[in-house]
């Protein structure tokens, strides 16, 4: 049952990622990214990492994607200009992708013991993880939240219409 769920949600994750790249409208791309983040949360659940799955849904699929969608809608981003891209990238890109996929396929086929997994350390509890996160890593945690707040304020300041007309002392 776990294998079937893994295959379904890994495929959904890959389909969402490919759809993210193929979409022309930014809102549709953001919604595809929500599908990817939600599928990753289910994959975390299958691995037995319930805390990471909940954090994935709350932080990434919830808060960050709402922020992305808000910024995209605030900036009123429409369709982008389509270009043909670089000729060199087109000529070298497809063979490079074929070589990389060939190397990955060779490594997977030659690897021994892919079906076995073992835990060497005991599973860390949510209490231990939260103790590390909110005691020893509190400063990076708070710095990240301040940086996200600064990014939001910067996006609002850049999207404000007539920014040059509202100068102080005018």
- Classified by CATH at the fold level, domain 1-79 comes out as 1.20.120
The mean-pLDDT minimum among 5-14, 30-39, 60-69 falls in 60-69
Q: Which residue has the higher pLDDT, 5 or 83?
A: 5
Q: Which residue has the higher pLDDT, 141 or 170?
A: 141
Please, what is the average pLDDT of the chain? 78
Q: Running DSSP on this structure, what letter comes out for residue 85?
A: -
Q: Which pLDDT band, with edges at 50, 70 and 90, does 26 fall under?
A: confident
Angle between helices 2-22 and 26-46 (to 10 degrees): 160
% the chain with pLDDT above 90: 8
- The answer to whether residue 169 scores a pLDDT higher than 70 is no
**CB-based burial of residue 123 (10 Å sphere; 0-12 exposed, 13-18 middle, 19+ buried)?**
exposed
pLDDT of residue 163: 53
- The answer to whether residue 116 scores a pLDDT higher than 60 is no
pLDDT of residue 62: 78
Q: Running DSSP on this structure, what letter comes out for residue 132?
A: I
pLDDT of residue 118: 57
In the chain, where the domains are located: 1-79, 124-160
- The answer to whether residue 117 scores a pLDDT higher than 70 is no
- The answer to whether residue 109 scores a pLDDT higher than 60 is yes
Q: Running DSSP on this structure, what letter comes out for residue 162?
A: T
How far is 160 from 122, CA to CA, in rounded Å? 52
């Amino acid at each position: 049952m776990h294998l079937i769920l893994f295959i379904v949600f890994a495929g959904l994750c890959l389909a969402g990622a490919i759809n993210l790249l193929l979409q022309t409208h930014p809102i549709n791309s953001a919604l595809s990214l929500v599908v990817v983040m939600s599928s990753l949360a289910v994959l975390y659940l299958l691995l037995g990492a319930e805390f990471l799955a909940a954090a994935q849904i709350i932080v990434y699929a919830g808060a960050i994607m709402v922020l992305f969608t808000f910024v995209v809608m605030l900036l009123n981003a429409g369709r982008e200009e389509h270009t043909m891209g670089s000729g060199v990238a087109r000529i070298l890109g497809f063979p490079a992708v074929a070589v990389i996929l060939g190397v990955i396929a060779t490594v997977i086929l030659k690897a021994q013991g892919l079906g076995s997994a073992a835990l060497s350390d005991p599973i860390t509890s949510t209490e231990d993880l939260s103790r590390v996160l909110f005691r020893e890593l509190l400063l990076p945690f708070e710095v990240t939240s301040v940086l996200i707040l600064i990014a939001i304020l910067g996006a609002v300041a850049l999207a404000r219409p007539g920014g040059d007309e509202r100068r102080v002392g005018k």
